[in-house]
Amino acid sequence: MHLRFSLCIILLMIGSAATVWASPQESPARCPSAGQGMMVGEVSTHSANIQVRLTRTEKLVDRDVPGTPGSVEFSLQPSRQTVIEPIPATKSATAAAENDYIARVTFSGLDPDTEYTCRSLIGPDTKHLRPGPIATFRTHAGPEIASDFSFVVVTGMNYGKFHGVNGIDKKNHRARNNTSLPAPYEGPDKHLGYPALESILKLKPDFFVGTGDNVYYDTPKDPRAKTVSELRQKWHEQFVQPRYRSLFASVPTYWEIDDHDYRKDDCDNSGDYAPSVQVAKRLMLEQLPYGPMNDTNTKTYRTYRVSRDLQIWFVEGRIYRSDNRTPESPEKTIWGKEQKAWLKRTLQESTATYKVLISPTPMIGPDDLRKKDNHTNIGGFRHERDDFFAFIKSEQIKNFYLVCGDRHWQYHAVDPRGPEEFSSGALVDVNSRLGRKAGDPKSTDPEATIKQPYLQNPASGGFLHVTSLAAQTSQAAQLIFQHRDEHGKLLNQVVK
């Protein structure tokens, strides 16, 4: 015990990130690591949430990254040097078992359109701290400043399909669907994680949007994650990948939840099975920096004014929904009355040149005819979609665009009433598939009323890259949508 304590003190003095425990069965770590790096979330014009999870290791141990208690001190200041350096803003947080050893703080009073650097000190307590992970981010410019911004949108980050899971029956590797496991990726860079994350980092976006299916509780289907520890493990193995750690070090995040990272495929709030609705909500707010830790009042639908030209909306698609099997009617809803009223009101109030609604699920599609859980589906939630599109038209909401995740293929679709939708497609190549064409009798648009300027073929992993360019002397403001494959290759571009 004395030898281990002495070694810990030495590691603290030299700022080493090494760890002296190889197994979660051993005694609690005294020299914590930060195996999942630092994540910045919900950046606004004047604030940001920042979190670090303290861990015993910096890599997987028995398919998990065991946590450990301790303290984290965060210090924040503008990245650019000035003649008189400001005193860093400092906040501390405790990493405890009840919060999965995640320490999270909120910094407020920040300057708009400014790059900040957040440094951390981590340790077993406040008296023994060493350097931890660092992250940079840029605050939004707000409604008064014309500035360029870009962001990426992703979905379908299926760890099981990419890596394969040891000990799973081979029958799960045959079929190619949402919860079975095809042959995993076998590239020499597999240990780094998804290639698309490296491609995203090269583009240097101002932020990253995960639209849901960020992890798959139900892949593999048997056994699927049910207990709190099993659900947490899905997030740990995802974010410990080196390419995620590199991305989070310089790109802040925004998150939405869909079916696979809420309960299971196409789920709603009905059914007495694990995870329960209560556990599902708890894990959302615990693992992702929506708001302050343990703040159960945090709204998972929200809007941000990025710049004079751009405003974005994130909607919540699982918590407030009616049961999928409820007969379709004007009362059947995904969004719920409160969220729907908020969405309409904030769109009416917006003075941004471009308005982008980012949804976990599609509103135009077309989608598979068999499904019943989204706004495109026959017998699903079309009444709510149609009412919303009528609102967009009657209120003359100009330059409004939909961006969605969920679907495993990229597309640009135009509804006959005017709204346009861009699907990000699956981030992971082995989780992608060919999409439904308008006019396909197995689609939600058998009569081919939807225009499809772009439908990805062949199938591949990738992401949507969106750029807002401020007006120049000789050019009006622009909004550019780019579909890219996992290697960053440009597949489709639309300029508005």
Q: Label residue 23 by pLDDT band (50, 70, 90).
A: very low
Per-residue burial over 20-56, b if 16 or more Cβ lie within 10 Å, else e, is: ebeebeeeebbbbbbbbbbbbbbbbbeebbbbbbbbb
Residue 230 pLDDT exceeds 80: yes
- 98, burial (CB in 10 Å: exposed 0-12, middle 13-18, buried 19+): exposed
pTM listed for this prediction: 0.91
More confident residue, 96 or 20: 96
**Which of 6-15, 211-220, 269-278, 326-335 shows the lowest mean pLDDT across its residues?**
6-15
Report, as an integer, the average pLDDT of 298-310.
97
Q: Label residue 14 by pLDDT band (50, 70, 90).
A: very low
Per-domain residue ranges of the chain: 2-138, 149-495
Condensed to tens digits (0 to 9), the pLDDT of residues 47-89 reads: 999 999 999 999 999 999 999 999 999 999 999 877 667 778 9
Answer whether 114's CB lies under 8 Å from 138's CB. Answer: yes
Condensed to tens digits (0 to 9), the pLDDT of residues 456-496 reads: 999 999 999 999 999 987 789 999 999 999 999 999 999 99
Report, as an integer, the average pLDDT of 35-49.
98
Condensed to tens digits (0 to 9), the pLDDT of residues 178-216 reads: 566 788 999 999 999 999 999 999 999 999 999 999 999
Q: Which run of H or of E encompasses 357?
A: strand 354-359
Q: Quote the strand ranges of 115-236, DSSP E.
A: 115-125, 128-138, 149-154, 207-210
What stretches of 375-431 show up as alpha helix (H) in DSSP? 382-394
Condensed to tens digits (0 to 9), the pLDDT of residues 369-421 reads: 999 999 999 999 999 999 999 999 999 999 999 999 999 999 999 999 999 99
**Architecture category of domain 149-495 in CATH:** 4-Layer Sandwich (3.60)
**Which of 21-35, 85-99, 108-122 shows the lowest mean pLDDT across its residues?**
21-35
Statement: 2-138 belongs to CATH 2.60.40.380: yes
- Nearest Cα to Cα of residue 463 among 427, 415, 419, 413: 427
What pLDDT sits at residue 12?
41
What pLDDT sits at residue 31?
85
Rounded Cα distance between 416 and 345, Å, is 24
Maximum CA pair distance of the chain? 76
Answer whether 356's CB lies under 8 Å from 312's CB. Answer: yes
More confident residue, 173 or 312: 312
Condensed to tens digits (0 to 9), the pLDDT of residues 143-167 reads: 999 999 999 999 999 999 999 875 4
Residue 67, strand partner residues: 55
Portion of the chain with pLDDT greater than 90, in percent: 86
Report, as an integer, the average pLDDT of 239-248.
98
The mean pLDDT of the chain is: 91
